[in-house]
């Protein structure tokens, strides 16, 4: 990387790279990046954006100019791509994506990618990955498959009830998902998700509830107690003709509890102020009463002691996924593995900021025996990169919101496309 710009070390020459400001699903600006290789192959990537972010995430760069988009513009990040990044990446022959990503990290020079902006860097990294896959004559998921890993079609986790910071309702838990673990194929899993979503809409309407949607396309009813929602989900699953449970359609929760742990150190849930230990007991009861197979961010990102207890108590029978606590960071995940905190990690490209580091995070999980749930953000574009990442990594799990709204179904539709082209790929969570 320190070689002069004219040196020929690799085969990939980027001739053009540029970004523009587009809108995400919440109507907020986000960068879209386009990369062109010598020979004319071009690829585009749209950058996602979170709302319930972890404090250690790579930093999204926003303009802060209150005169544009209420301060949320990304012209600075776009200019970083069009200026400094384009200058650094064009005119040099790159060996592979790892070398490109390392150059981006070095050029930025900060631990949190805040100088150029993680939203600039991740867009470039994703577009480069796509372009290199096309250049190799491979589908993106094939190109992303690490050596020695078997690709699989993931279980889609459809977020059908939204709360927390994703909806203006009194529900403290952020996400209630349905996961067709027992579906025979990916297509049948998508069908189950859509049919249960439809059944749920009818049930809510019958009960006089609003059927307006939260940020990820799930319904946002005026409900308060998590258990009330779980009972409703079981009813919807059954009403749609499916079996609620691991053999059929299971439930997954993302309380996103960092958002409702207050300065008093308590978790404020439905009017109660619970300690970490009381939260663990609440989850234990929930998992005994309802077919909940996965809990993400059950405790807050700074409550590592609580997490250790939660893992000890429920880790044998429930998948415990770290999102805000791990932020797709290989070093933090490695630390968690050594401390037996959680047994799975959420995987979000923009939390760490490059495709290479994301793949490292997943490799760290595989080595430590931790499962991985590939994830969208609450602010999305129609970019479907994460569908390919979930398939190629063989992790067997993807969450991309409701089975509705264009930016959410773009991911599920990409899975359907891959499944149709490759009926030989197995569906589901990998056998233990
Ligand atoms: P975010 O939420 O994209 O708003 O951060 C998603 C999640 O917490 O999993
Ligand atoms: Zn989460």
**Quick check: 77 pLDDT over 80?**
yes
**C-beta 51 within 6 A of ligand 1:** yes
Q: Is 254 in the pocket of ligand 1 (CB under 6 A)?
A: yes
Nearest to 353 by CA among 166, 113, 154, 192: 113
Structure confidence at residue 9 (pLDDT): 80
Instruction: Give the mean pLDDT of 381-396.
Output: 99
| Residues 45 and 130 sit within 8 Å (Cβ to Cβ) | yes
Residues in the chain: 432
Q: Tell me the ligand closest to 159's alpha carbon.
A: 1
CB of 215 within 6 A of ligand 1: the answer is no
Cα 356 to Cα 56, 96, 180: the distances in Å are: 18, 10, 30
Say if CB 229 and CB 204 are below 8 A apart. no
**Does position 2 have pLDDT exceeding 70, yes or no?**
no
Strand ranges (DSSP E) for 182-231? none
Q: Are 209 and 221 in contact (CB under 8 A)?
A: yes
Question: 296-312, pLDDT tens digit by residue?
Answer: 999 999 999 999 999 99
Contact present, 46 and 30 (Cβ < 8 Å): yes
Query: And the tokens for 145?
Result: 């498959």
Nearest residue (CA) to ligand 1, atom 1:
50
- Please write the tens of the pLDDT for every residue from 207-262: 999 999 999 999 999 999 999 999 999 999 999 999 999 999 999 999 999 999 99
Tell me the catalytic residues. Answer: 216, 348
CB contact at 8 A, 415 and 152:
no
Which atom of ligand 1 is nearest the CA belonging to 346?
9
Q: Where are the alpha helices (DSSP H) in 18-96?
A: 75-80, 86-89
What is the Å distance from ligand 1's center to 171 Cα? 16
Mean pLDDT of the region 392-418 = 98
pLDDT (mean) for 83-103: 96
Is the Cβ–Cβ distance between 81 and 88 less than 8 Å? no
β-strand partners of 35: 17, 43
Confidence at residue 7, expressed as pLDDT on a 0 to 100 scale: 52
The answer to whether residues 143 and 136 touch, using CB atoms and an 8 Å cutoff, is yes
Contact indicator for 155, 428 with CB cutoff of 8 Å? yes
- Compute the C-alpha angle 65/323/235, nearest 5°: 110
Which has the higher per-residue pLDDT, 3 or 280?
280
Distance (angstroms) between ligand 2 centre and the Cα of 297 equals 6
pLDDT average, residue stretch 411-427? 98
Mean local confidence (pLDDT), 64-91? 97
**What's the gap in Å between 252 CA and the centre of ligand 1?**
14
Other Cβ atoms within 10 Å of 186 Cβ, number: 26
Q: Which pLDDT does position 1 carry in this prediction? A: 45
Q: What is the pLDDT of residue 432?
A: 81
> How far is the C-alpha of 193 from the C-alpha of 21, rounded, in Å?
33
Mean pLDDT on 275-291: 98
Q: Of all atoms in ligand 1, which is nearest to the CA of residue 215?
A: 4
Q: Which atom of ligand 1 is nearest to the CA of 174?
A: 8
Each residue's pLDDT tens digit, 150-195: 999 999 999 999 999 999 999 999 999 999 999 999 999 999 999 9
Rounded Cα gap, residues 13 and 11, in angstroms: 6
State which of 25, 55, 174 you would mutate to test the pocket of ligand 1, scoring each by most atoms of that ligand within 8 A of its C-beta: 174
**4 band by pLDDT with thresholds 50, 70 and 90:** very low
- Residue 24's SS3 state is coil
Residue 32 in contact with ligand 1 by CB distance below 6 A? no
**Contacts with 432 (C-beta within 8 Å, 6 or more apart), sequence order:** none
pLDDT at residue 8, as a whole number: 58
d(C-alpha 64, C-alpha 282), whole Å? 41
- Is the CB of residue 52 less than 8 Å from the CB of residue 259? yes
- Strand 397-401 relative to strand 371-375: parallel, antiparallel, unpaired? parallel
CB atoms within 10 A of CB 304: 15
Q: What percent of the chain has pLDDT over 90?
A: 97
The rounded mean pLDDT for the chain is 97
Mean pLDDT confidence for 360-366:
98
Q: What's the confidence (pLDDT) of residue 272?
A: 97
- Single pTM value for the model: 0.97
Does the pLDDT at position 91 exceed 90? no
Please give the biggest Cα pair distance in the chain: 68
Burial 402-423 (b: 16+ CB within 10 A, else e): bbbbebbbbbbebbbebbeeee
Angle at which helix 276-289 crosses helix 304-314, to 10 degrees, equals 30
Strands 29-37 and 12-23: antiparallel
């Amino acid at each position: 990387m320190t070689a002069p710009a004219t040196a020929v070390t690799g085969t990939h020459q980027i001739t053009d790279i540029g970004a523009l400001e587009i809108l995400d699903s919440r109507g907020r600006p986000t960068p879209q990046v386009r990369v062109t290789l010598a020979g004319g192959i071009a690829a585009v990537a749209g950058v996602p954006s979170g709302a319930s972010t972890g404090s250690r995430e790579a930093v999204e760069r926003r303009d802060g100019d209150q005169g544009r988009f209420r301060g949320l513009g990304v012209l600075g990040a776009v200019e970083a791509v069009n200026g400094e990044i384009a200058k650094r990446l064009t005119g040099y022959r790159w060996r592979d994506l790892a070398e490109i990503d390392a150059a981006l990290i070095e050029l930025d020079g900060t631990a949190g990618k805040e100088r150029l902006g993680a939203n600039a860097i991740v867009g470039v990294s994703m577009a480069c990955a796509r372009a290199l896959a096309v250049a190799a004559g491979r589908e993106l998921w094939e190109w992303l498959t690490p050596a020695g890993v078997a690709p699989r079609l993931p279980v889609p986790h459809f977020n059908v009830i939204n709360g927390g910071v994703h909806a203006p309702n009194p529900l403290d838990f952020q996400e209630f998902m349905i996961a067709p673990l027992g579906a025979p194929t990916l297509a049948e899993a998508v069908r189950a998700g859509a049919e249960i979503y439809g059944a749920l809409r009818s049930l809510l309407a019958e009960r006089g509830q609003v059927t307006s949607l939260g940020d990820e396309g799930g319904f946002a009813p005026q409900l308060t107690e998590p258990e009330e929602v779980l009972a409703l989900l079981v009813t919807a699953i059954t009403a749609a003709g499916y079996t609620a449970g691991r053999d059929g359609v299971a439930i997954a929760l993302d309380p996103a509890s960092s958002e409702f742990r207050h300065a008093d150190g308590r978790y404020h849930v439905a009017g109660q102020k619970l300690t970490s230990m009381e939260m663990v007991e609440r989850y234990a009861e929930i998992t005994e009463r309802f077919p909940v197979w996965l809990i993400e961010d059950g405790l807050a990102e700074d409550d590592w002691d609580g997490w250790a207890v939660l893992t000890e108590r429920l880790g044998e029978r429930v998948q415990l996924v770290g999102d805000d606590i791990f932020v797709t960071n290989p070093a933090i995940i490695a630390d968690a593995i050594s401390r037996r905190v959680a047994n799975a990690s959420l995987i979000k490209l923009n939390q760490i900021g490059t495709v290479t580091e994301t793949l490292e995070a997943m490799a760290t999980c595989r080595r430590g025996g931790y499962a991985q749930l590939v994830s969208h953000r609450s602010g999305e574009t129609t970019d479907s990169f994460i569908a390919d990442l979930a398939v190629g990594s063989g992790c067997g799990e993807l969450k991309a919101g409701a089975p509705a709204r264009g930016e959410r179904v773009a991911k599920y539709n990409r899975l359907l496309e891959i499944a149709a082209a490759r009926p030989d790929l197995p569906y589901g969570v990998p056998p233990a």
